[in-house]
Structure 1
Amino acid sequence: MEAALAQEQDPRLRRDLTAYLNEMRQVANALPILTLRLPDVTFEQRLVFAGSKRAAVLLTFGGGHSPSDAFLYFPEEGLAFMSDLIQVDFHPAMHDGDPGEWLQILARVEALQLNTIVPGHGPVCSGQAIGQLAQYIQVLAQMVEDAGSLEELLVQDMPAFCASWQAAPIFKENLEFLYQRAHNL
């Protein structure tokens, strides 16, 4: 990865490689001190934590980004810590999830009328980020539907609304994943 970074000329890709390399270094440094611990509490759809001043709700609407997505919701504040279900200015990896289910989950999250979202990647944002991510998934799905072949699909330019997002290489990975899924490959 360091060699790829040293050779990369595109400033956007250099930014992404630098961020990823730093993240992997942190993971490597943490590995010797990590221990596996199974959960003490599990839940199916909803788990409420009631405190003296506020309540928090751990929710899952199913699996969209991953097979089992959960997020922490503060109803009175209209605040949610969304994990990777919401990503802002960042290409979300789709290869472990179900884009159709993800869109349904986003619609249910949008119905919560959130004021503030802490995303899995990107800056704290408003509920408008939900629509932006849904648009991303829909646009990529449409690109796949319109493409005659995978080769034709992979040479297409990134849509302007997401061209400046971080993790740009994931865009092509998402197109390939969606194409393979659509064609049962």
Structure 2
Amino acid sequence: MKPLLTRRQSLLLGGSALSLFCCCPPGRAEPHRYELTPKKLTDGVWVTRGSDEAINERNGGAIANVAILDSSEGAILIDTGPSRRFGEALMTLAKELTGKPIARVYLTHFHPDHMFGNQAFDPAKLAATKGTIDGMKEYGNAFSDSMYRAAGDWMRGTELVLPQAVVEGAPEDIGNRRLRPLLMRGHTPSDLALFDEKTGILFAGDLVFLDRAPTTPHADIERWRMSLANLSAIPSAMIVPGHGPVESSVRGVEQTSRWLETISHMIGDAFERGLDISEAITLPLPDWTKSIALARYEYERSVMHLYPQFEAARWPRIDERG
């Protein structure tokens, strides 16, 4: 009997003849849809929780928390998510929750899981620090390529859109809501946290992670810990981390700082002992990190990020020798 598919045909179909039985018309795959579930924090404030995973084709890159605030002038968003489709779903949700158009969209930093949903919004409504906009310009195309590889078809049609409004630190009154921008750095060279004076909620962006290991591709660990110390001094009713659950405590601030101190010490000690990267990656993590999602994964990534920094700082340059 002649086989239904040659090996080449099977591979082109994703390695399985089951692809032939897809209910979608040929050439028209069912588009991915983000199912956003808002959690109400208080009157007029909601958060959609990101998945406590790495970016992949299951979650479509939707791993970051995104906030929606109501105001008399319109909806205020904090971050736009990983793709055009996410941004469109977010805009629809914000309009449904508030019954109003979008008044302002803040971006906390330039990482792709927080800003590739920008396409759904008027660029004049998008606001970020100058450092974040500069980072988007510098890394945006590379981020786009890596997101397409990691998240696949979720990213279809997604392109980089830059904010037109620059956040400079002065309090911003939007309708009946006043937001105080807090310009910091550490997770990236330019991080924006926002304090809502009406509710006392602190939106910390990726300066704070809770029960999910922090990412460090553009981190300055010491600056980051200084920013966390400043955040912990703010008397907030709740803290919304960039990743992880919302809590009315500083547990996320303390946990993030402890994680940064732990990995910085481990990686620095491994470097001083002369371990190479492959040896440093295999070091055991302390027991307290067992409850932290992606602890091993992010530790290994941090070794790759931070080892070159130790080398640059502590190894002599041959071309500078007399």
Q: TM-score range by the shorter chain?
A: 0.7 to 0.9
Q: What's the CA shift for 1:80?
A: 1.1
- C-alpha contact (below 8 Å) 1:113/1:127 kept by paired residues: no
Q: What's the CA shift for 1:141?
A: 1.1
Map 1:99-178 → 2, pairs under 5 A: 99-125=221-247, 126-147=249-270, 148=273, 149-150=275-276, 151-168=278-295, 169-178=297-306
Q: What's the CA shift for 1:96?
A: 1.3
Structure 2: 5+ residue runs without aligned partners?
1-51, 63-82, 84-152, 316-322
Q: What's the CA shift for 1:172?
A: 1.1
Per the normalisation by structure 1, the TM-score is 0.77
For 1:56-109, what per-residue CA distance to the aligned partner results, in whole angstroms no more than 9, with x for missing partners? 112212x21112111221235331111111111111111112111111111111
1:71 and 1:22 mapped to 2: Cα distance?
Answer: 29
1:145 and 1:30 mapped to 2: Cα distance?
Answer: 37
Q: Confirm or deny that 1:43 pairs with 2:167.
A: yes
CA RMSD across the alignment: 2.7
Residue identity matched to 1:144: I
Map 1:18-33 → 2, pairs under 5 A: 20-24=56-60, 27=83, 28-32=153-157
Task: State, as a whole percentage, how many aligned pairs show the same letter.
Answer: 25
| Residue 97 of structure 1, aligned match among 219, 224, 231 | 219
SS of the residue corresponding to residue 241 of structure 2 reads: strand
**Equivalent in the alignment of 1:10:** none
Residue identity matched to 1:105: S
Change (3 A) 1:58 1:179: same
1:25 and 1:42 mapped to 2: Cα distance?
Answer: 26
Change (3 A) 1:38 1:179: closer
Per the normalisation by structure 2, the TM-score is 0.47
Change (3 A) 1:25 1:129: closer
Q: What's the CA shift for 1:31?
A: 3.6
Aligned residues: 169
1:38 and 1:180 mapped to 2: Cα distance?
Answer: 30
Higher RCO (C-alpha under 8 Å, 6+ residues apart): 1
SS of the residue corresponding to residue 283 of structure 2 reads: coil
1:105 and 1:25 mapped to 2: Cα distance?
Answer: 26
- C-alpha contact (below 8 Å) 2:206/2:242 kept by paired residues: yes
Post-superposition, which runs of at least 4 consecutive aligned residues in structure 1 deviate over 4 A?
none
SS of the residue corresponding to residue 207 of structure 2 reads: strand
2:154 and 2:239 mapped to 1: Cα distance?
Answer: 29
